Chain A
Amino acid sequence: MSELRDSHRLFLQSFMSRSVLDAKEVKALYKSSCEKFNEEYITQEDERRRQLAEFVIVINNSIKPFHMEIKKGFSEDNGTNCYCLVSTSDTAITKMASDYTATELEYFKKLIELVVESDVGYIGSVEALNLTESLTNTKKMSKTDAENLLKRMKADRWLILNEGQVSLSTRTILELDMYITDTYPETAKMCELCKKLCLKGQLCEECGVKLHVHCASRIFSKQNQRKCPGQRCNAEWVHDIPSKDVPGSQHVQQENIPSHGQNRKRKAKH
């Protein structure tokens, strides 16, 4: 196993200050980390990808004792990749604890509950603001407070606010997927194809099987007869399938940075 070098440390530091980077940013960061310490940066694509994956594994092995990990995820909206430095301790809200108050975290948990229970993976902003009424914490929260909190959580990349819809960001899904699946084992659905948590996606009305939109397009883009992939279901798949060339969706298989699916298995053994 190769040693941790200055380039790894600088790469890690940048990750710590950013938390979320997309594939392009990761590549640029890797390049500048290598160059700063005069290490070879391979331009040949496949080889570089292999090296970068190895590079991240070295880091992940070193930071594991501190319950940290660089994980790869994808946007449920368009399938593009991104990389997050997440806290893998049992209560992954640790990292947020220094930024948000107890009341705010309670609000956030309630919001997660509503999003998970909705079949579509998002809730309306009015519904989100009304959540303030169900808080039990002694410190009350006004609608204005909630509105500001939503904005702050968007800026911190925990939430996506788009056209009156509130949904969970890739960062939140990566960081809290354990929490979500453990807390809502009945309602949280996994994608039939990639077996990862699926909030936004396409749902089979017959059997309840769910697919990420980009996963669905991987299955169906070349088929004319679209059938639900659920076991013994075979109902017709009625949703629109976007064209297969979703940016980044192909990388999902190619790059071998450990994805959170693998992590789930590892954690389950504890």
Chain B
Amino acid sequence: MKRTRQPSGKSNQDELPSGSQSQASQNPSQSQATSLTQAEKAAAKLDQKELELKVNDLVQYLLIMDQKKYPIKKVDINKVVLKDTSNKAFPLVMKRASEKLADIFGIDVIELQDKQKGSYILISKYEIDADKPNVVWPEEDNTRMGLLMIILSLVFMNNNIMQDSEMWHTLKKLGIDPEVPHETFGDVKKLITSEFVRQGYLEYIRQPQTDPSIYDFKWGQRAKAETSKRNILHFVSQMYDVSDPQQWTSQWQDKENEEEMEVSQANSN
């Protein structure tokens, strides 16, 4: 069920600008990219103080909504946080909120691509080493993440795509049967094909014109952002007790390609 509360209500009414006009005309020039000019004009109508409150509200909202790890929609942000403020303020408020999340919380805001454009996820800047947990996470999360790591590994080692029947067959060997409620995971089929999918860790795509339907598993956008092929390869090598991950020739090449692409992307920015 989807319900949202506006973080820290009423503040924007309390802080109604007095003499905001003169102030606003001076301060919007934060040397933004030119694409922000329209947004800046909208933001300039906001008092600087009010803008700051909106940014803080948005940070709080993103953190609360991220607890379930479901992507957060721009529509909802506009509805809940920005409300009557012109929607054109969105880019600037979002930019500022992202800066704060990075500076204070060590979290990156990432916009999803393709069909999911207009949705955002939060990703920690810090990679969590699977073998050396530096931080304590809730136990429930840990076990779920373990299952997820295995699924991501299976997909990756299978050339980045795996048919559902093959996935279930492999998981059964680990005592995980999609048809049988699992002691730890409960309805494990639902967890994998619905929860992990909604959270953006997996894609679960029906092959066209199949009857009965056949589905494929792929990595979702959150998986790509949160972990790396290098990390997964390292994880698999450990499970198989392989000291040199380069033994997995094609996967190694895949990993190398991914890293090269990241470097070239970083350079072009």
Q: Contact residues of A with B, CB < 8 Å?
A: 4, 6, 9-14, 16-18, 21, 25, 28-29, 32-33, 35-36, 62-63, 65-68, 89-91, 93-95, 97-99, 101-102
CA distance A12 to B125 in the complex (A): 13
Known: A12-B104, A98-B64. 13 other contacts (CB 8 A): A9-B125, A13-B106, A16-B63, A29-B135, A36-B126, A36-B134, A63-B104, A67-B60, A68-B60, A91-B5, A94-B60, A94-B64, A101-B3
Q: Which of A21, A33, A89, A93 contacts B134 (CB 8 A)?
A: A33
Q: Which of B5, B105, B126 contacts A97 (CB 8 A)?
A: B5
CB-based contact B5/A33 at 8 Å: no
Q: Contact residues of B with A, CB < 8 Å?
A: 1, 3-5, 7-9, 56, 59-60, 63-65, 67-68, 103-107, 124-126, 134-138, 141
**Which residue of chain B lies nearest to A14 when distances are taken between CB atoms in the complex?**
B135
CB-based contact A13/B134 at 8 Å: no
CA distance A11 to B106 in the complex (A): 10
CB-based contact A98/B68 at 8 Å: yes
CB-based contact A10/B67 at 8 Å: no
- Residue of B5, B64, B135 contacting most chain A CB atoms (<10 Å): B135
A6-B126, A14-B136, A66-B56 in contact; A101/B8 too (CB < 8 A)?
no
Q: Which of B56, B68, B136 contacts A65 (CB 8 A)?
A: B56
List of 6 A-B pairs having minimum Cβ-Cβ separation, nearest first: A9-B106, A14-B135, A97-B5, A89-B8, A32-B134, A66-B60
CB-based contact B60/A18 at 8 Å: no
**Which residue of chain B lies nearest to A19 when distances are taken between CB atoms in the complex?**
B138
CA distance A16 to B135 in the complex (A): 11
CB-based contact A6/B106 at 8 Å: yes
CB-based contact A18/B136 at 8 Å: yes
CA distance A21 to B135 in the complex (A): 12
Nearest chain A CB to B140's CB is how many angstroms away? Answer: 8
CA distance A6 to B136 in the complex (A): 16
CB-based contact A13/B124 at 8 Å: yes
Nearest chain A CB to B81's CB is how many angstroms away? Answer: 13
Nearest chain B CB to A203's CB is how many angstroms away? Answer: 36
Residues of B within 8 A of A18 (CB): 136-138
CB-based contact B105/A12 at 8 Å: yes
CA distance A67 to B10 in the complex (A): 14
Nearest chain A CB to B214's CB is how many angstroms away? Answer: 35
Nearest chain A CB to B73's CB is how many angstroms away? Answer: 14
CB-based contact B104/A62 at 8 Å: yes
Q: Which of A4, A11, A93 contacts B104 (CB 8 A)?
A: A4
**Which residue of chain B lies nearest to A95 when distances are taken between CB atoms in the complex?**
B64
**Which residue of chain B lies nearest to A17 when distances are taken between CB atoms in the complex?**
B137
Nearest chain B CB to A216's CB is how many angstroms away? Answer: 33
CB-based contact A13/B105 at 8 Å: yes
CA distance A98 to B138 in the complex (A): 18
Residues of B within 8 A of A90 (CB): 8-9
Nearest chain B CB to A13's CB is how many angstroms away? Answer: 6
Residues of B within 8 A of A93 (CB): 5
CB-based contact A98/B67 at 8 Å: yes
Q: Which of B7, B67, B103, B135 contacts A13 (CB 8 A)?
A: B135
CB-based contact B4/A98 at 8 Å: yes
CB-based contact B105/A9 at 8 Å: yes
- Residue of A9, A18, A90 contacting most chain B CB atoms (<10 Å): A9
**Which residue of chain A lies nearest to B107 when distances are taken between CB atoms in the complex?**
A13
Residues of B within 8 A of A102 (CB): 3
A–B Cβ pairs within 8 angstroms, 27 of them: A4-B103, A9-B104, A9-B106, A9-B125, A10-B126, A10-B134, A12-B104, A12-B105, A12-B106, A14-B135, A17-B141, A18-B136, A25-B136, A29-B136, A32-B134, A32-B135, A35-B134, A36-B126, A62-B104, A67-B7, A89-B60, A90-B9, A91-B5, A94-B60, A97-B4, A98-B3, A98-B4
CA distance A171 to B79 in the complex (A): 30
Nearest chain A CB to B128's CB is how many angstroms away? Answer: 10
